[in-house]
Chain A
Amino acid sequence: MSHGIGVDISFFLLAALAVYTGWRVFCTDSMVRASFFLLLSFIAVGAIMILLTAEYLGVAMFFMMAVEMMVMALFMVMFMMNPAGLNPMKMVHQERAAIVAGVIAFTVLSAVAVFSGFPDAPLPAKHAPVVSLGLEMLGDSMLIFESAAIVLLATMIGVVVLSSHRGRYGAADVGSMPPGLAPDGEPAGQPQNEDEDDDEGGGHAHHH
C-alpha cells in the first residue's frame, strides 16, 4: 500500500496519542477522566483505521465508543466514591505482578511483530472497502453476522434478568419498602396504612 509522508506523520502522532492516553487511564485520579482518556485512545485507533482505508470500521468505532464511554462515565459517577478525582487515588492490587505480565505480553507480541514473516499482500489499487464489507455481511458471511445479532439479543435479556431481579429497596419477593426519612421512621412516599397500630414504632417488616 503506497501512502505519502503525511499519512506516516499522522500515524505516528495518533499512535503516540493512543498509547499515552491508554496509559493515563490507569494513573489518573479521576475515574471519569479515566473513561475519557480511554475514549481518546479508541478515537486515535479509529483514526488509524481510517488511515488504513477501513472507513466504515473507523467511523463505527467513533460512534460506538463515544456512547460507550459516556455510559462508563455515568457508572463511575453512580458507583465510585471518588469520581471527580478530588483525592489522590491508587486502587490497585498485585501491581508488581500486573506490571510484569503487561511487559511480558508486550515483549512477546512485539517479538512476533518484529521477527515473524507475514505475507505481503497489500490492498489492491481499485478497492472499495465499504462496498465489499457490505456485500460480505449480507452475502457469504450472513450467518456469522446474524449470529452476532442473536448473541446481542441474548445479552440484552441476560442483562435485564441480572439487573432487575431486585427492586429498588430490596428483593422483589419480600415486598420492597423505601427507607424512612429519619432512622426507623415511616417509609418515605408511601400511603399510610389505616388499620396499623401507631405504637408499633414504625416496624414495617410484616407488610403484605
Chain B
Amino acid sequence: MTLMTLLLLAAALIGIGLYGALSQQSFVMLMMGLELMLNGVMLAAVAFWAFSGAGTPEGQLLTIIVMAVMAIEMAMGFALVVAVFRAKQADMTEALSELKH
C-alpha cells in the first residue's frame, strides 16, 4: 500500500465513474457515476493525507467536505428526478429535449 497504488485505485474509480456519468441514460444511474467519481476523489484525499500530508487534520476535513458535497448532490438530484418525473413522466435524459414543459 503506497501512495502510488492508492492513487491508481482512485484513478480507476474516477475513470469508471466518468464512463457511467457520460453513458447512462437513466438519471439515477447517471448520479451513481458521479458518486463513484467522488468516491475516488475522497480516496485520493485520504491517501495524500496519510502519505504526504504528515497527518495534518485539514486533509481529513477536505474529505468530510467532499462527503457533504456528495450528500448535497444526492438530495438535489433526487429532488430534480421527482420534479422531472411529475412534469414529464420521464426518467431518461433523452426525454428532456426542451427546458420548459
Contacts and interface: CB of A to CB of B under 8 A. Distances in A.
Q: What does DSSP make chain B's interface, helix, strand, loop or mixed?
A: helix
B14 A34 contact: no
Contacts of B63: 54, 57
A12 to B, nearest CB: 8
Q: What does DSSP make chain A's interface, helix, strand, loop or mixed?
A: helix
A133 interface: yes
Interface string B10-48: 111111111110111110110111011001001100111
A38 B74 CA distance: 14
A184 interface: no
A144 B67 CA distance: 13
Contacts of B91: 79-80
Given A57-B60, A60-B67, A1 B50 contact: yes
Nearest to B20: A26
Contact of A80 (B7, B26, B58, B67): B26
Nearest to A121: B54
A95 interface: yes
B36 A38 contact: yes
A26 B65 contact: no
Contacts of B94: 93
B3 to A, nearest CB: 6
B17 A8 contact: no
Contact of B75 (A48, A102, A155): A155
B71 interface: yes
B43 A166 contact: no
A109 B28 CA distance: 26
A51 B46 CA distance: 11
A107 to B, nearest CB: 8
Interface in B40-81: 42-43, 46-55, 57-58, 60-61, 63-65, 67-68, 70-72, 74-76, 78-81
Top 10 nearest A-B pairs by Cβ distance?
Answer: A106-B15, A102-B19, A113-B7, A136-B57, A98-B23, A109-B11, A98-B22, A121-B54, A162-B79, A159-B79
18 contacts: A1-B51, A19-B12, A19-B16, A31-B29, A35-B32, A45-B13, A45-B39, A52-B6, A61-B42, A64-B71, A75-B78, A91-B25, A92-B24, A93-B93, A114-B4, A121-B54, A159-B76, A159-B78
Given A57-B64, A121-B52, 7 more contacts: A41-B13, A64-B71, A132-B60, A141-B57, A155-B72, A159-B79, A163-B78
